[in-house]
Structure 1
Amino acid sequence: MSERETAAQATLAGGCFWCIEAPFERLGGVESVVSGYAGGSTENPTYEEVCSGETGHAEVVQVTYDPDEIGYRELLEVFFTIHDPTTLNRQGPDVGTQYRSAVFYHDDEQRETAEALIEELEAAGAYDDPIVTEVEPLEAFYEAEEYHQNFYEKNPEQAYCAVHIPPKLDKLRENFASKLKG
């Protein structure tokens, strides 16, 4: 990843981080996607601690992107397309607060953008149920263990990945083909 002054970050939780990481890695303008943990009370939590549900963390991805190539709102539009923002503390078979839907904003502009998009989606009736995505400040991001990074790329045949990630990639291609890396 090249560190340019224009690089920005978005931190998003939408269930299992493997399922969110894979689509974002395919977007043009995205420089890196790091799986990790945010929103909890324990410093430097381990995967096992987060999975216990006792640390308060969510599994997240931290997306570093070039805002000249892809905007924060566009990243959020992808985010709201590839996961279900209407299920409280759940995505598919994954249940617990660590799988909640959340936008961890880095500044007031990100907060305002996220809140406005949620209002627009609700007003448009984009989902049958109310959006339960939390919008909260990013206080700390902890990088997940190395074996979680680029998990789908390294393990596409792994049963969980093979079932849950391809439909998200299909949604990405159907809705954002022009935004994909070449």
Structure 2
Amino acid sequence: MQPVTLTTERFVLSTPRASDVDAVFAACTDPELQRFVPVPVPYEREHAEGFVLGMVPAWWRDDVEYVFGIRETADAPLIGVVSWQRAAGFVGYWLDAAHRGRGVMTEALRALVDWVFRHDVDELRWEASAGNVGSAVVAQRVGFRWGGVAPISAVRPGEEPTGWHAVLRRADLGTVQPREAWPVLSGA
């Protein structure tokens, strides 16, 4: 598939480009991001280059994963990433630490979900490492339904594969499961 651009009220979601390597590198060296996102540790500049210049274009071309960089305007620096792994049905996302807590990812994920559901898809899946409350809050706000605790696929070798799961069905789009239905969010 050819890359597309999505827009929201506050953001532009477009394919990461060469000028985003530094932003990806900076974000992925954050210990909090590394705790929950299975990026290489230590994260080197070459990893960011390989992601932006190699993996992302190949994934789009081969219909594997559609990765969108999140920006405040079309020409602004990348502040995060949201993606859809087509075959597995998973959404994934991360946000630079300076932009967390402002509803950025909730807005970006909603745009991605709306776009995905225009592609003959009836269900999306979310998983996160146990303890990733920020990711769970975003998934709950977008309408994913709590699925429970079970092994997850996105872990680094040697790490505990236990994580959290949720599902969003096209038929449930526009509804939000109450926060109380997400046991991992009690007290969060």
Is the pair's TM-score, using the shorter chain for normalization, greater than 0.5?
no
- Ranked by relative contact order (alpha carbons within 8 Å, sequence separation 6 or more), the top structure is 1
Q: TM-score, normalised by structure 2?
A: 0.29
